[in-house]
Amino acid sequence: MAPVGRLLLILGFITVLYGLGASLYGGRARDEAWIHSGRRAMYSLALIALVAFVILDIAFVRNDFAYNIVADGSSSTTPFFYRVAAIWSTQQGSLLLWVTLFSGWASLALFLTRNKIREVVPWAQAALFTLVGFFLGLNTFLANPFETSSPAPPQGAGLDPLLRHTTMMIHPPMLYSGYTLMLIPFCFAIGALVSGRVNAEWVSVTRRFALGAWLFLGIGIVLGARWSYTELGWGGFWGWDPVENAALMPWLVATAYIHSIMIQEKRGMLRVWNVSLVLLAGVMAMVGDFLVRSGILSSIHAFVPDPTLDIAFVAIVGVMTLGSIGLVLWRYESLKSEASIASIFSREAMFVAQNMVLVALTLVIFWVTFFPLISEAITGNEINVGQAAFLPFVDPLAVAIVALAGIAPIIPWRRMSLDKLRSNFAFPLGAGLVALVVLLLVPGVSAHTAPLAIFCAAAFVVATVVQEFVRGTRVRARGTGESPPVALVRLVSRNRRRYGGYLVHLGVVIALVGVAASTSFQHQRRATLAPGQSVRSDGYTFTYVRPVAAATAQKLEFGAIMRVSRGGHRVTTLRTVYGVYPSATSSAPLGRFFETSLGASDESTVGLDAGLTHDIWVVISADTQPLDPIINRGDAAFSRAMSAILKLPRRQQSQKLSDLFQLRDRAVQELTHRWVSRPWPTQFLIEVSPLVTWLWIGAIIAALGGLISLWPATPRRGRGRRDRDGGAGRLADRRALDAGRGLGADSREPAPAGAPRGGELVTRLTPPDPAA
Amino acid sequence: MVGYLIILIVLAVVFTLITGPLRSARHRRSDLGVTTADLEAARDAKYREIRDAEMDLRTGKLSEEDHREIDGGLRAEAIEILHRLDEAQAADAEAEAGQDGRRDAESELPSAP
Amino acid sequence: MDPSRKRAIRLWVALSCAVLLAVALIYTSFSAGRDEVTASQLIRRAKPGTTYILAGTVVDGSVRRTASALSFRIRDPKSDVTAAVHYTGEVPDPFAQGRAVLVDVKEGSSPTATYTGVANSLTTKCPSKYKAASGAIPKAGSSQSGAGSE
C-alpha cells in the first residue's frame, strides 16, 4: 500500500495545482463554474489526504515495519493507542496530519461560504490552495511518509517512553487544528484585500473559524501544560520554552482579533488594524510550526533539526509576511474608516486598550524568544535570556489584561453616562477592594505584588461576570415570567456570543489565579531518604514508607510509596516510579536493561495528589548505581556463557540459548527485586503548590464558554434557511422596526402595556443568533 | 489489488466532483456581487445589534437617551438592508423564471430527424 | 476637542508607550542574557566565574552517575571538540547519550571535569525525532529478548 499512498500524495498535489488554477481563472474571468470547480478540488483534496492518512495509520497499527517511519517510531510492544498516535510523533506523519486537517477545515469554510462573499472567495480559495500546496509539496517531495525499506526490519525502535502519555494522543491534533484554523481567516483576508471587498462581510463569515482556532490552540496549550506538569524535566506546566511560546503567540493575537472584529462589525472601524491582526496571526501560526520543525532555537520540545525543511519554511514565512504588508499598503485607502471612538468610556475604547496590551505581550514574547537569533545577527554571539527577562513585562501586562476583561463587559458600545458608570462599577470595585483587604491580612501575600494585583483584579472580574448574569436573568425572568433557572438557560442560549464570552473571561481569570498562586507561593524541597525516614515541607511531613519494584517485558520500575501527613493526620499516600526501558542498541546482556549510559531510556512517573487548595507533587530520582558491580559481573558471566554456547554444534545451540535467556530474565528480575529487599537511600523532589487545580478548572470553563460562543444557532422559527417565505416576514419586520422608531406604522403586535419601548421588536426578533 | 481499487475509486470521485460544475450550464453566472445570503447575514447581524442595545438598556448600562439615539440609527440601517433584500430576492426570482423559460423552450424543440 | 486631534494624541501616546517598551526590552535582553555557546566556543573564550549556556550532544559512553552527581561530555555539533561537565541537580527524563542538551556551566574546581554545571539547569530536547542507530534493530530470532520473555 505504500505505492498507493505515494500515488495519492502526487494526485493530491496535482489536485492542488488544478484548484489553484481554477480559482484564479474563475476569479479573474468572474466565471462561477470554475470557482465552483476549484471549491470541489478542495473537497477532493480533503478526501485524498484522509485516505492517505488512514493508509499510513493502518501501517502503524499493523506494525508494518517496511515503512521507515513505522520502524523509527513504533514497535510491536507499543500499546495500541500509542501506535495510532505515533504517526504524528514523526516529521513526515505530522506534515500529513497538517495537510489532512487543513484541507478538511478549508473544505468546511468553502462549503459554508459557497453562496456568500462571492467576490472574495476565489482569491481566498487560491490562498488556501497555495498554503496547503506548500505542506503537501513538503510531504510529496522532501518528507515522504511512504518510504519503505527492503527487507523490512522485524521490529521497530519503539515510541520513546516520554511520549507514552495519554496527552500525546490529543495534544498535537489540537494544536495543529488551531494552527490550520488560524490560516482560514488569513486566507479570506488575502481574498478580501485582493478583491477590494474590505468591509465587514468577510470578517463576519470567518469569525467562527478564528474563534475555533482560538479554542483549539487554547486546548492544545493547556493539554501541553498538563503533560509538562506531570513529566519531570519539562519545566512544570510552563517554562517559557520557544515552542511553548510559538503556540501562545498566535493564541494571543487571535484573542485580540476576535475582540476587535466586533468593533468592525458594529461600527465599521479598525479595518486596517483587524486585517493586519489576522494576517499577523496567520504568519505567527506558520512561524510556530516552523519553530517546532526546524530546531533553530534551543528547545526541549523542538524536533531534531531537518535542514531540508528550514529553507522552505523561511521562504513561505517570508512570502506570507511581505505579501501581507504589500496587500495592506495597496488597499490602505479603502481600508481607512471615517468613524472614530467617541468616548474613552466605551466598549470600543476598552477593546482597543485590550488589543494594545495583548499585542504588546505578543511582541515581548516574540522578542525574547527570538533574541538568540537577533543577538547573533547583531553581535555574533547567541545570547539566551531566561525567565528573568520575561517576568518584569509579563506580570504588569497580565494584570492589565485581567482588569480590562472585567471593565469591557460592563461598558456599552459608543458611550456610558457618569451615573451609569457609578452604578455598574460599584459592586465589582467593591469586590476587588474587599479581596485586597482580605489578602493583605494573609501572611506572606503582600510581599508578592504581581500575584496580589492579579487576585484583586480577578475578584473584580468575577464580580462583573456574576453581575451580568444576575441582571440579565432578572430582566428576562421579569419580561417572560420564567423561573430564574429557566431564564438563565434561555438567556445564555439566545445570547451565545455575549454570555459565552463572559464565561471565557471567567475561565481565563480563574486559570490566571491558579498560575499566579502556584508559581509565586510554591514550596520545593529535595531530600535523600531511606525507607522509614521523613522530611518536612510547607507544614507537611513526607515519609518514605517502602520501596516498590516491577519487571515486565517493556520496562523495569523502581518506585516508592510516600505517606504525606499534616499535624499527625494522614493527608494522602503517593506512589512515584522511575521506569527504565531496555536499550535496543547495547549488547550487554544485563546492562542494557538498567544503564541509561548504555542507551536504556528512562521516564519518571510523578506521585500527584491534586486538590482544590493545593497540589502535592513527589517524584523519585532512583539511582541504580549500587547494582552496577553485580550487573558488570553478570554481563561478563553471560557473555562468556554465550561465547561457549556459540561454539557448540548448531542443533544444540537453540535449547542452550533459550535456557541462557531464561536465566538472564530471572537475573534481571532478581536484580530489580533487590530494590525492595535491600533498599538504599534515594533522592526525592517534593513540591507543594497552591491552587494549581484552578488552572485546569479555569481552562475547562473557558473552553466551555468558547464552545457556547461557537455553537451555531438553529434557523429562524418558521423559516427555511434561504428565507423562502421572504416577503411576508420582511414586511412584518419592517413594521416592527418602524413601530420602534415611532413612525406610526400599523403593527400586528402592539406593545404590551408598560413594556419598555422596543419590547415588541425584541419579542418579534427573538430568534437565536443565525448560523454564520 | 485493493490498492489499485482505492486509487481508481478516488480518481473517479475526484474527476466527477471537479468536472461537475463545468459540465452543468446552470452554474454559469457571472455576477459575483452581494448575494441574498450576504444580505440575510447582514440583516441578522443588525437584528442582533438591536437586541444587544436593548439588553444594555435593560441591564442598566445605557441611559434611555443614549439608547434612543443608538436604536434609531440601527433600525434605519436594518430597514435599508430589508429594502436591499427585497430587491435581491426579486432579482433572484426573475433570474430563475428566465432559466425556467429557457428550459421549457428547449424541451419543446422538435427532435432531430 | 476636534476628533482628528484626539486621534493624533492617542496615536502619539500609543507610539510613546511602544518606544518605551522597546527600549526596556532591548536593555533587559542584553543585560540579563547569557551567551549560548558550543564546546569549541566555550573552550576558546570561557572566563572564570562567568556562566554560559553550553549546547551540544551528549557523547556516547561518557555518562557517569554517582549518588549525587552526573558527569558527561558534550560534543560540539559542528566539530569533534568535547567539553566535560560535572553536574548536580535534577536530571530530566529525556537525558541520555546521543541526545541534544543545554546546561548552564562555569569553570569548575573538580579535578576531573573542566566545567561545573549549574544545579538544575540541564534540559534535553524532545525525543520524538529520536532515530535508532543503524543495525540496532534485532533481526528475527535475535538473542535480544526482553526480561519476562517474549
Digit-coded pLDDT (tens) for A167-180: 777 888 999 999 99
Among A298, A593, A599, beta carbon nearest to C96: A599
- Exposure of B50 in the CB half-sphere (CA atoms within 13 A): 31
- How many beta-carbon contacts under 8 Å exist across A and B? 182
- The chain A residue lying nearest C121, using CA atoms, is A233
Cα distances (angstroms) measured from residue A520 to each of A111, A441, A455, B27, C119 = 48, 17, 12, 63, 21
Residue B11 within a domain: no
The cell for A565 is 501527613
Residue B3 within a domain: no
pLDDT (mean) for A627-638: 89
CB of A8 within 8 Å of a chain B CB? The answer is yes
Mutate to test the interface with C, among A155, A528, A685 (most CBs of C within 10 A): A155
Tell me the residues of chain A between 162 and 221 that have a Cβ less than 8 Å away from chain B.
201, 204-205
- pTM here is 0.86
Q: Provide the mean pLDDT of chain A.
A: 86
pLDDT (mean) for B7-12: 92
CB of C36 within 8 Å of a chain A CB? The answer is yes
Q: What is the CA radius of gyration of chain C?
A: 24
Among C32, C35, C102, beta carbon nearest to A388: C32
In the predicted structure, residue A697 carries a pLDDT above the cut 60: yes
Q: pLDDT at position C134, please?
A: 32
Q: Are residues B55 and A498, on separate chains, in Cβ contact within 8 Å?
A: yes
**Which residue in this structure is represented by grid cell 537475573?**
A667
CB of B72 within 8 Å of a chain A CB? The answer is yes
CB of C39 within 8 Å of a chain A CB? The answer is no
Q: pLDDT at position A565, please?
A: 95
Q: pLDDT at position C113, please?
A: 59
Listed range (A269-273, A674-678, C2-6) with the worst mean pLDDT: C2-6
In the predicted structure, residue C147 carries a pLDDT above the cut 60: no
Residue C56 within a domain: yes
Residue A749 confidence class, pLDDT cut points 50, 70, 90 = very low
Q: pLDDT at position A106, please?
A: 97
Mutate to test the interface with A, among C130, C131, C142 (most CBs of A within 10 A): C130
Residue A693's CB is within 10 A of a number of other CB atoms, namely 17
Hey, is C75 helix, strand or coil?
Answer: strand
Q: Which residues of C touch A618 (CB under 8 A)?
A: none
d(CA C98, CA C106): 22
**Could you read off the pLDDT of C105-126 as tens digits, one per residue?**
887 665 555 788 887 788 776 5
Pairwise pLDDT comparison (C137 vs A211), residue with the higher score: A211
Q: Are residues B18 and A415, on separate chains, in Cβ contact within 8 Å?
A: no
d(CA A328, CA A475): 44
**Could you read off the pLDDT of A87-137 as tens digits, one per residue?**
888 889 999 999 999 999 999 999 999 888 889 999 999 999 999 999 999
Pairwise pLDDT comparison (A156 vs A15), residue with the higher score: A15
Hey, is C19 helix, strand or coil?
Answer: helix
CATH code at C52?
2.40.50.140
CB A577 within 8 A of CB A558: yes
- How many beta-carbon contacts under 8 Å exist across A and C? 201
d(CA A184, CA A655): 63
CB A360 within 8 A of CB C21: yes
In the predicted structure, residue A379 carries a pLDDT above the cut 90: no
In the predicted structure, residue A184 carries a pLDDT above the cut 90: yes
- The chain B residue lying nearest A722, using CA atoms, is B37
d(CA A538, CA A616): 10
Residue C54 within a domain: yes
Distance from the B18 Cα atom to the nearest Cα atom in chain A, whole angstroms: 5
Q: Provide the mean pLDDT of chain C.
A: 73
Spell out the residues 6+ positions from residue A44 whose beta carbon is closer than 8 angstroms to its own: A15, B13, B14, B17, B18
Hey, is A342 helix, strand or coil?
Answer: coil
**Phi, psi (rounded to 5 degrees) for C36:** -95, 125
- The chain A residue lying nearest B51, using CA atoms, is A762
Listed range (A369-383, A446-460, A714-728, C52-66) with the worst mean pLDDT: A714-728
Q: Are residues C149 and A553, on separate chains, in Cβ contact within 8 Å?
A: yes
Residue B1 within a domain: no
Q: pLDDT at position C112, please?
A: 58
**Contact A/B (≥3 CB pairs under 8 Å):** yes
Residue C142 confidence class, pLDDT cut points 50, 70, 90 = very low
Q: Which residues of A touch B78 (CB under 8 A)?
A: 733, 737
- Sign for the CA dihedral angle at A713, A718, A723, A726 comes to negative
**Phi, psi (rounded to 5 degrees) for A617:** -130, 125
CB of B60 within 8 Å of a chain A CB? The answer is yes
Q: Among candidates A739, A744, A743, which has minimal Cα distance to A757?
A: A739
Distance from the C49 Cα atom to the nearest Cα atom in chain A, whole angstroms: 17
d(CA A190, CA A126): 9
Q: pLDDT at position B105, please?
A: 64
In the predicted structure, residue A306 carries a pLDDT above the cut 70: no
Fill in the DSSP letter of residue A271. H
Q: Which residues of A touch B66 (CB under 8 A)?
A: 412, 414-417
User: Which runs of consecutive H residues, i.e. helices, occur in chain B?
Assistant: 2-23, 36-58, 64-108
Q: Which residues of A touch B58 (CB under 8 A)?
A: 475, 479, 756
> What is the strand order of the sheet A569-581 is part of?
A534-537, A540-551, A556-566, A569-581, A601-605
Residue C6 within a domain: no
Hey, is A722 helix, strand or coil?
Answer: coil
Q: Which residues of C touch A301 (CB under 8 A)?
A: 125-126
**Contact C/B (≥3 CB pairs under 8 Å):** no
Q: Are residues B63 and A420, on separate chains, in Cβ contact within 8 Å?
A: yes
Q: Are residues C94 and A162, on separate chains, in Cβ contact within 8 Å?
A: yes
CB of C45 within 8 Å of a chain A CB? The answer is no
Hey, is B32 helix, strand or coil?
Answer: coil
In the predicted structure, residue A360 carries a pLDDT above the cut 80: yes
Residue B89 within a domain: yes
CA A98, chain centre distance (Å)? 15
Q: Are residues B6 and A740, on separate chains, in Cβ contact within 8 Å?
A: no
Q: Which residues of A touch B76 (CB under 8 A)?
A: 741
Hey, is B9 helix, strand or coil?
Answer: helix
**Could you read off the pLDDT of A231-241 as tens digits, one per residue?**
755 557 888 88
User: Which runs of consecutive H residues, i.e. helices, occur in chain C?
Assistant: 3-32, 39-45
CB of B16 within 8 Å of a chain A CB? The answer is no
Among B40, B63, B71, beta carbon nearest to A723: B40
In the predicted structure, residue A761 carries a pLDDT above the cut 60: no
- The chain B residue lying nearest A9, using CA atoms, is B7
> Residue C58: which domain range?
36-127
- The chain A residue lying nearest C30, using CA atoms, is A383
Q: Domain count of chain C?
A: 1
CB of C23 within 8 Å of a chain A CB? The answer is no
> Residue B59: which domain range?
35-99
pLDDT (mean) for A737-756: 41
Residue B41 within a domain: yes
Among B10, B32, B53, beta carbon nearest to A30: B32
d(CA B74, CA A411): 19
Q: pLDDT at position A702, please?
A: 96
Q: Are residues C25 and A368, on separate chains, in Cβ contact within 8 Å?
A: yes
Q: Among candidates A297, A414, A401, A294, which has minimal Cα distance to A349?
A: A414
Cα distances (angstroms) measured from residue B66 to each of A345, A420, B69, B71 = 13, 11, 5, 8
d(CA A482, CA A505): 27
Distance from the A523 Cα atom to the nearest Cα atom in chain C, whole angstroms: 16
pLDDT (mean) for A521-542: 91
**Phi, psi (rounded to 5 degrees) for A241:** -70, 145
Pairwise pLDDT comparison (C136 vs A21), residue with the higher score: A21
Q: pLDDT at position A307, please?
A: 67
Residue B62 within a domain: yes
* H-helix or E-strand spanning residue A56: helix A32-61
CB of A14 within 8 Å of a chain B CB? The answer is no
Among C128, C133, C138, beta carbon nearest to A155: C138
**Could you read off the pLDDT of A666-675 as tens digits, one per residue?**
999 998 999 9
pLDDT (mean) for A28-39: 92
* Beta strands C52-58; C34-37: pairing state: parallel
Q: What angle do CA A267, B78, A212 make, to 5 degrees?
A: 55
Q: Domain count of chain B?
A: 1
**Could you read off the pLDDT of A704-744 as tens digits, one per residue?**
999 999 988 766 554 444 444 456 666 667 777 766 643 32
Among A300, A356, A625, beta carbon nearest to C124: A300
In the predicted structure, residue C49 carries a pLDDT above the cut 70: yes
**Contact A/C (≥3 CB pairs under 8 Å):** yes
Q: Among candidates A416, A488, A766, A504, which has minimal Cα distance to B48?
A: A766
Q: pLDDT at position B3, please?
A: 84
CB of A3 within 8 Å of a chain B CB? The answer is yes
Cα distances (angstroms) measured from residue A106 to each of A46, A182, A317, A693, B35 = 9, 11, 20, 36, 21
Q: Which residues of A71-108 are buried (b: 16+ CB within 10 A; e: fewer)?
A: bbbbbebbeeebbbbbbbbbbbbbbbbbbbbbbbbbbb
CB of C1 within 8 Å of a chain A CB? The answer is no
- Helix then strand then coil, in percent of chain A rounded to 5, is 65, 10, 25
In the predicted structure, residue A354 carries a pLDDT above the cut 80: yes
Residue B109 within a domain: no
Q: Which long-range contacts (CB under 8 A, 24 or more apart) does B19-25 make?
A: B19/A37, B20/A36, B20/A37, B20/A40, B21/A32, B21/A33, B21/A34, B21/A36, B21/A37, B21/A40, B22/A33, B22/A34, B22/A37, B24/A33
Distance from the C64 Cα atom to the nearest Cα atom in chain A, whole angstroms: 7
- The chain B residue lying nearest A742, using CA atoms, is B72
d(CA A767, CA B76): 20
CB of A413 within 8 Å of a chain B CB? The answer is yes
Q: Among candidates A403, A252, A423, A416, which has minimal Cα distance to A341?
A: A416
**Could you read off the pLDDT of A226-272 as tens digits, one per residue?**
988 887 555 578 888 888 888 999 999 999 999 999 888 888 888 89
